[in-house]
Amino acid sequence: MSVASLKGRDLLSMADLSAEELQELLALAAELKAGKLPLRCQDKVLGLLFSKASTRTRVSFSVAMFQLGGQVLDLNASVTQVGRGEPTVDTARVLDRYLDVLAIRTFEQQELETFAHYAQIPVINALTDLEHPCQVLADLQTIQEEFGQLSGLTLTYVGDGNNMANSLLLGCALSGMNVRIAAPVNFEPDPAIVQQAKTIAGDRSEVLVTQDPELAAKGAQVLYTDVWASMGQENEAESRMPIFQPYQVNDQLLSLADPKAIVLHCLPAHRGEEITDAVLEGPQSRVWDEAENRLHAQKALLASILGATPLS
C-alpha cells in the first residue's frame, strides 16, 4: 500500500480517483481505524473554508488532522474577507501561500474548481451541490467492513438525485458495485454523471436510474437515502413532501432488499420523512458506523494527499 499515492493531488470529484486508488484509500482507512499504521503529518496545516453548515465534515476533518499531528484553521466566511466579497481567485492565491491543504464546502462546483485552478496546494471537495466525495469514501468503507468486499454488491439510493446520488454513482462504478438510483421525475441525478458512471462501470456492473423505488430495492445489499430537500432548498421542503413520500425508506421497502441488507444515511436525517425512526434505529442500520468512518476515510485521504510518514 502506497501511503502517498495521492500526494499533492486535488479531490474535486469521485471520478478523480482510479479504481486502484480508491481501493488503496479504503485499505489505508481500515488500517488507520484499526490503529495498525500510525502516521504523522507534522506541522501541516489544513484550512476549512465552509460556506454551508457542517457537523460531521467539519469535526471529522478537524479530528483527523489533529490525530495526524497537524493543525486546522477554520476559515469561516463571517470572519474572513470571503464574507465581504473578496474574489475567489484572490482568496485562492493568498491561502495557497499559507496552507498545505484546503477543504472547501460550498454551493457551486465551479467555485471549487476555480480554487483548485488558482491554488497550487491540494484542494478537497468537502461538499458542493454537485458532489460529496468524502461522504462516499466513508460509505464504501462501511459497506466493505460489513460484507468484506464491494465488487458485485448492489447499492440502491432512494430519494432526491442530489450530490449524494451523483457521487454514489461514480463511487460504486469505480468499486465494481451495481448502483440503482430511484428518484421522482424531474429529480433524477445529473445526466452527465449518470453517463460517466456507465462509462466507468463498463460491463463490470449495472448502473440503473428508475422512478420505481420497489424495483430498485429488490435484492439490494445496501439501501441508502438522504434528505428530500438539501441545504439551500429549505423553501421547497413542504412542496416536495407529497412527491417524495413513495420514496421513504421504511420496513416495507427494506423487506424487498436482501435479508442481510444494511441501511445507510449521510445525515442529518429527518426522521419520519425520508427514513422512519424504526429503520434508522433498527438492527440493519449502519448509520452510526458510517458517520464514524468519515473520520477514518478522511484521515486516509489527508495522509495520502500530504504524504504522511509512519511513526518509527
Which sequence positions are flagged as catalytic?
A: 105, 132, 135, 226, 266, 294
Residue environment code for 161-198, b if the CB has 16+ CB neighbours within 10 A, otherwise e:
bbbbbbbbbbbbbbbbbbbbbbbbeebbbbeebbebbb
CA angle 59, 63, 69 (to 5 degrees): 150
Is residue 137 within 8 Å of 298, Cβ to Cβ? yes
CA 193 to chain centre: 15
Contact between residue 310 and residue 3 where contact means Cβ atoms under 8 Å apart: yes
Neighbours of 71 (CB within 10 A): 16
DSSP H helix total and E strand total for the chain: 12, 11
Q: What is the CA radius of gyration of the chain?
A: 19
Helix axes 19-33, 163-175, angle to 10 degrees: 100
The residue assigned the cell 468486499 is 149
Residue 182 contacts residue 217 (beta carbons within 8 Å): yes
98, 74 in Cβ contact below 8 A? no
For 223, list phi and psi in degrees, rounded to 5: -110, 130
Query: What does the DSSP assignment read for 200-247?
Result: HHTTTS-EEEES-HHHHHTT-SEEEE--SS-TT-GGGHHHHHHHHGGG
